[in-house]
Amino acid sequence: MRTVKEFVFLFFVSICFVVVSFLCPLNAQAQIEQVAKDVVKDMSPISGVVVMLQDGDVLIDLGSNKDVKVGDIFTVYVTEKVIRHPVTKKILGKTTTPIAVIEVIKVKPKFSICSILSVKKKIKPGLEVTRFSDIPAIFVDRLKQPPAEVLYGYLKTRLGDLNWLPDVTAGGEKLTSEVLEKNGIMVAIVAEPNAIKMYDRKLRLLRLWPWMPYPRVAVPPAGAPQAAYPYGAPPTAYPYGAPPTGQPPVVSPERAARYPIASADMERALAPRYRKVAEIPQVALCVDIYDLDDDGTLEAVFITEGTLQIKELSETGNTVGHSFRGFGKLVSVSGGEGGYIALNIFIESKQMRSMILRYVEGQLEPVVTDLNFILGFVDLNNDGKRETLLAQDFDTETFFGAKVFKMRILGKKVEPGPNVNVPRDFHLIGATFADLNGDGVNEISFINEHHKLVIFRGNRKVWMSPRRVGGGVQDISMDVGTDNIKFPLNIPVETMPLPIDVDNDGKKELLIPDNKSTTYHLVEGFPTYEYGRISMVSVESLGYTLRPFSGKLSGPVVGLGSDGKEVFCGLVKGSLLWGKATSYILAFPKPDPRRLQVIKQKPQL
């Protein structure tokens, strides 16, 4: 039952919503209401128990089945006293005392693994845990406008289990890990112009909820003075007002003739038209598009069920095939300099049996076989060529091990090189290294186990996609646990993002597969997709943004590549479940600069 004080507060919040409805356009008001509901949904209290302690971490009985996410913070409670009715002896409740705070670092279907942030007493199995309860939190308002004020009132009412404290950061100007730790603050919710962000006490980004309380009406020209992101007042690109009415320029007849196929939702896409380059009458589980022999012509390396095929992307393109039936499950492939190809092969629930091959004068030959590592070629010097072979340890419990190192190819042998510093839970399959903001330092990008694209600088996460992206057409299935208790673990096989300077401004954007599925686990290991798309992540005046590069395509995107003039993708169209599908290579032009400017004025996806 609510107290009079709570009713008064709710009445005040309602009045604020009415006031804001006069100050904000309808779409802005809807944004405020929606993001408030999203934040409350993700931070609402849920309770479970401690299952066990393992290697200094805490396992709890709440997993993805209870909508637990990495970054969720739980309080561990010990029961002090049980309250019973004096007559009926029924239990009316209990008094509890918080003894520890833990943070989720890995989520499984029915349990989660948590690291310990603080502890007063020994944590034991059976103790109660509750999400975002008795956690010291602050709300940082960087907008200083009605939307943020109303949002704060809504959150403070709906998330009453948090211990809300006054903002000690002076509106974000002093938002540092030192200030948060000094004041004992575990969670900081920050209202910024284009997103609501949640940070932990180390100022690590835990969650991001996009919003657009200020409809765009203008984009500051390159080089114009701007408030330093992410601090300061709302940029002038987001005043209250109506969005622009400009439409993307009409496609020229020459471009329409070269790229005859148009997507249905072309008004939002940077590259709405494309052409078909090649096809194979099979399901391509993975496609890597790269100039293997450095002759100026790209090759498409297809993995199908048990075979690897290489097709030159020219009018008279040669096709080379090799069968690997009986070797294990072909997982992923990546090409590198000198015609080398890293092929990852998985022996069910046992080990990797990866190999290195070489494409020489139109022929395919094995170089090194039976490597119990996950392999991948990457570009570490930002010249567009994958000169470095990386290896990641195979882990029988998590698949992706903790150690990543360079590997040198010496004739028919390999030699381990120096270790590479990567974030925790790094996935080499589907990872790329690229300088995205032009400061000369590589960001590390990969799609995590929750199907979100994450971008790191060293070990610090700087961005996470606001929704699911990626989406491969096969999973790796493993049984993990002890001999007595086994848990199924499914590892999605993701496609490597493509770093490319789309707008010729000297900075690289990141193209990623963006495959839409509403029935991903309807049949385990065979996701079904409504459509595919290429999306683009770029650094703009307000930080990282996610926009559609292509329009909606008729199947999932399973590979990306570029020759510098066009963008190529692998696409599978048909039934993945029954294997009745055809795989295509499509080519898209680089966007018209005028179209790029107009599209950038539209809200991100």
User: What is the pLDDT, as a whole number, of residue 437?
Assistant: 87
Nearest to 238 by CA among 270, 214, 255: 214
Residue 285 shares a structural domain with residue 372: yes
Q: Within this chain, do residues 203 and 328 fall inside the same structural domain, yes or no? A: no
pLDDT at 317 (0 to 100): 65
Are residues 203 and 88 part of one domain?
Answer: yes
For residue 7, being part of any structural domain is answered with no
Q: Are residues 522 and 426 in the same domain?
A: yes
pLDDT at 500: 94
Tallying the residues shown for the chain, one arrives at: 605
Same domain assignment for residues 377 and 514:
yes
pLDDT of residue 590: 87
Note whether 173 and 280 are same-domain residues. Answer: no
> Where do the DSSP E strands lie in 149-211?
163-164, 187-191, 195-200, 205-210
Residue at 2 is within a domain: no
Q: How far apart are CA 490 and CA 525, in angstroms?
A: 8
Round to whole Å and give the CA distance between 50 and 318. 59
Radius of gyration of the chain (CA): 26
* Beta carbons within 10 angstroms of residue 506's beta carbon: 7
- Domain-embedded: residue 226: no
d(CA 155, CA 191): 12
Element (H, E) at 436: none
Write the CATH number for 366: 2.120.10
Buried-state track 159-168, b at ≥16 Cβ within 10 A, e below 16: bebbbbeebe
Task: Say which residue the tokens 């010729």 belong to.
Answer: 504
Q: Which residues contact 461 (CB under 8 A, 6 or more apart)?
A: 204, 205, 423, 454, 455
CB 561 within 8 A of CB 498: yes
Q: What is the CATH number of the domain that holds 88?
A: 2.40.30.20
SS3 14: helix
Cα–Cα distance, 461 to 453 (Å, whole number): 11
DSSP symbols for 353-421: -EEEEEEETTEEEEEEEEE-EEEEEE-SSSSSS--EEEEEEEETTTEEEEEEEEEEEETTEEEEEEE--
Q: Are 435 and 442 in contact (CB under 8 A)?
A: yes
pLDDT score, position 519: 52
Looking at the structure, do residues 190 and 285 belong to the same domain, yes or no? no
Q: What is the pLDDT of residue 22?
A: 39
Confirm whether 6 is domain-assigned. Answer: no
Domain final residue pick, 192, 210, 228: 210
Mean pLDDT by 10 residues, the chain (605 residues): 45 46 46 81 93 91 90 92 81 85 90 92 94 94 76 86 89 84 91 84 82 48 42 33 42 74 72 90 92 91 89 77 72 95 87 91 88 96 93 91 95 94 94 91 92 92 91 83 72 93 86 79 54 91 86 93 94 75 91 71 60
Residue finishing a domain among 210, 245, 278: 210
Task: For residues 597 and 562, give the distance between their C-alpha atoms in angstroms, rounded to a whole number.
Answer: 22
* Kind plus residue range of the DSSP H or E element containing 345: strand 340-347
Last residue within a domain, chosen from 186, 210, 234: 210
Structural domain boundaries enclosing 369: 253-601
Element (H, E) at 572: strand 566-575
Phi, psi of 216 (to 5 degrees): -70, 140
Q: How far apart are CA 303 and CA 344, in angstroms?
A: 10
Residue 483 token pair:
């001999």
Q: Is 267 helix (H, G, I), strand (E, B) or coil?
A: helix
599 Cβ contact partners less than 8 Å away, ≥ 6 residues apart: 248, 268, 269, 270, 547, 591
- What was the pLDDT predicted at 601? 63
Instruction: Based on the fold, state whether residues 259 and 197 are members of the same structural domain.
Output: no
Same domain, 356 and 483: yes
**Claim to verify: residue 425 and residue 489 sit in the same structural domain:** yes
Residue 325 in any domain: the answer is yes
Pair type for strands 509-513 and 498-500 = antiparallel
Question: In this structure, is residue 10 part of a structural domain?
Answer: no
- Output the pLDDT for position 266: 63
Residue 100 covered by a domain? yes
Task: Assess whether 206 and 261 both reside in one domain.
Answer: no
Give yes or no: residues 154 and 68 share one domain.
Answer: yes
Residue 219 covered by a domain: no
Domain total of the chain = 2
CA 140, 142, 147, 153: dihedral to nearest 10 degrees?
20
Residue 208 burial (CB count, 10 A): 18
Angle between helix axes 146-158 and 4-23 (nearest 10 degrees) is 150
- Distance between CA atoms of 299 and 357, rounded to whole angstroms? 15
